[in-house]
Amino acid sequence: MADIMRAVATLAWPLLVVVILIYLLPAVRRLLRESHSVDVEVGGARVSVQTASNETRKLIEDLQDRVNELSALVDRGQEPSVEPMGSHPAPRGILWVDDEPGGNLYERARATDGGYEVVQATSTETALKLLEGMTPTVIVSDVGRTESGRFNPTAGLDLVRELRRRGDLTPVVFYTSPRGVALVRHDAELLTNVSCTASPTELARILDM
């Protein structure tokens, strides 16, 4: 009898947890659905809980990748190469060009914390107008953008080419997806003062922030 009671007691807590989860499941599902419309503040901008969660996951995954890369270098007896922007007189400025600014909230917040004044633009046209009245230390741009109602897969490259045509040699960093980096790397190497990365950790090193 005592063994039976102990067995029942052992099973009681897991069973209770299952019952509670079943009871709360509708509320949890509702919370997950509503997370798309619930806003939080990140880096001075209002975004949905879902967007903030996705950005956090992206940063964690990137940090894990960078740790693995550094571990591999150490195992081979190599030292990691770091090519930051270097020191600049304050204040430092970034013109950040991206038609989906919600996708780099944490990166912009880190840049601000690192001493940069960040100005945003969502199109090539807006960026060029802003550059008439500012001289940023660096321009961070995505590669493809929806502009004037249609998607331009080379919008970032078009921006850089126009700047170079005007004699503007401001450093440009393409911050895009791994696929975007693969597509643009060759063209970027043919342009002056242009680099590209898909890693928020590497971006922080490049910008020295």
Digit-by-digit pLDDT tens for the chain (209 residues) are: 555 555 445 545 555 555 555 655 565 556 556 555 555 555 555 556 566 556 565 656 555 555 555 555 555 666 555 455 555 455 699 999 999 988 888 899 889 988 999 999 999 999 999 999 999 999 999 999 999 899 999 999 999 999 999 999 999 999 999 999 998 899 988 898 999 999 998 999 999 87
Architecture of the domain made up of 92-206: 3-Layer(aba) Sandwich (3.40)
pLDDT of amino acid 62: 57
pLDDT of amino acid 106: 87
pLDDT of amino acid 105: 87
pLDDT of amino acid 26: 64
Distance CA(111)–CA(91), nearest Å, equals 12
pLDDT of amino acid 7: 47
pLDDT of amino acid 208: 86
